[in-house]
Amino acid sequence: MRDRKWIIAGLAVFCVVVLFPVWYGFTTRGEAAPPDVVLPTNEKSCVEPTEWMIANHPTLLNEWRNAVIRDGRTEYVSSTGVTYTMSFTGTCLGCHPTRATFCQRCHDYADVQPTCWDCHVEPQGK
Site for other proteins (CB under 8 A): which residue of 71, 80, 81, 112?
71
Q: What residues contact residue 88 under an 8 Å CB cut-off, 6+ apart? A: 61, 64, 65, 120
Smallest distance, other proteins to C-beta of residue 2, A: 34
55 near other proteins (CB under 8 A): no
113 near other proteins (CB under 8 A): no
Q: What residues contact residue 39 under an 8 Å CB cut-off, 6+ apart? A: 102
**Span 12-31, contacts to other proteins by CB under 8 A:** none
Q: What residues contact residue 74 under an 8 Å CB cut-off, 6+ apart? A: 68, 85, 86
120 near other proteins (CB under 8 A): yes
125 near other proteins (CB under 8 A): yes
